[in-house]
């Protein structure tokens, strides 16, 4: 599984530069959940590895890089990247588009952006109907709308793994840098709370989300966290005794 390394600012600047060039590419923000999805699904792993930029979203991934390979890696999470990318887009006159999420979420986002990024160029937004399968013509129409809007940075809010698969299918078709931001948007605009700073530094942001939605997230975290620890130990033993 591929993962880019570098400073947080490197990621912000690189994504901004690619957006300015209007090349059809996408960025994946990898956390433990995404890593396990890719480990469990070969086709999804290819989707991730085909991304131009793959940032270490989760704190545990940074710890794993240091523990296994001695690499000191800053976290580059969606919740931090999103406001910084919007700021860069605003000062560099780049137009942005939001694809996904509910109509209410996008309406609240529009209000938030007008208040906090008054100079930001909004190319548009679209909330696709939940679970609807688009015809080939409908898909082409959506692509044409995004391309004709002049969007240079497309934020995708469909959740993992759906948003990554969608971006991969749009590579070479949508002329912009696409970034899958998942749940970062409702947190940024204040519809959801983010974990306190001490929990972020301790790598416990997942626990804060779990405590907010225990029923929905219990199976995900019990499975993904356990499997992640297993893979971490397995890789450590392989590096120590067999490499």
Reported as a single tens digit per residue, the pLDDT across 42-74 is 999 999 999 999 999 978 888 899 989 899 998
pLDDT number for residue 171: 97
Asked if residue 14 has pLDDT above 90, the reply is: yes
CATH number of 8-183: 3.40.50
Q: Distances from the Cα of 78 to the Cαs of 147, 165, 227, 231, in angstroms?
A: 24, 17, 23, 24
Question: What pLDDT digit, counting tens, does each position of 66-103 carry?
Answer: 989 899 998 999 999 999 999 999 999 999 999 999 99
Average pLDDT over residues 109-125: 97
pLDDT number for residue 110: 96
**219 falls in which pLDDT band (50, 70, 90)?**
confident
Burial class (CB in 10 A: 0-12, 13-18, 19+), 46: exposed
**217 falls in which pLDDT band (50, 70, 90)?**
low
Question: What pLDDT digit, counting tens, does each position of 141-197 carry?
Answer: 999 999 999 999 999 999 999 999 999 999 999 999 999 998 899 999 988 777 677
Residue spans of the domains in the chain: they are: 8-183, 198-242
pLDDT number for residue 243: 66
Nearest to 90 by CA among 155, 16, 150: 16
């Amino acid at each position: 599984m591929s993962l880019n390394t570098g400073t947080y600012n490197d990621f912000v600047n690189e994504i901004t530069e690619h957006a300015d060039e209007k090349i059809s590419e996408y960025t994946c923000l990898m956390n433990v959940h995404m890593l396990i999805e890719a480990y469990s699904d070969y086709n999804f792993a290819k989707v991730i590895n085909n991304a131009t930029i793959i940032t270490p979203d989760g704190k545990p991934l940074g710890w794993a890089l240091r523990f296994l390979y001695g690499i000191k890696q800053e976290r580059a999470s969606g919740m931090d990247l999103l406001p910084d990318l919007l700021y860069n887009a605003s000062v560099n006159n780049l137009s942005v588009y939001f694809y996904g999420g509910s109509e209410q979420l996008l309406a609240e986002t529009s209000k938030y952006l007008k208040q906090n990024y008054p100079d930001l160029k909004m190319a548009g937004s679209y909330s696709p109907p939940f679970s609807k399968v688009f015809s080939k013509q409908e898909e082409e129409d959506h692509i044409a709308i995004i391309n004709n809007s002049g969007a240079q940075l497309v934020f995708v809010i469909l959740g993992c793994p759906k948003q990554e698969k969608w971006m991969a299918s749009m590579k070479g078709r949508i002329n912009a840098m696409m970034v899958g931001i998942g749940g970062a948007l409702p947190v940024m605009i204040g519809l959801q709370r983010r974990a306190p700073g001490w929990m972020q530094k301790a790598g416990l942001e997942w626990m804060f989300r779990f405590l907010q939605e225990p029923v929905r997230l219990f199976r995900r975290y019990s499975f993904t966290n356990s499997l992640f620890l297993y893979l971490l130990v397995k890789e450590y033993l392989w590096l120590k005794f067999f490499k």
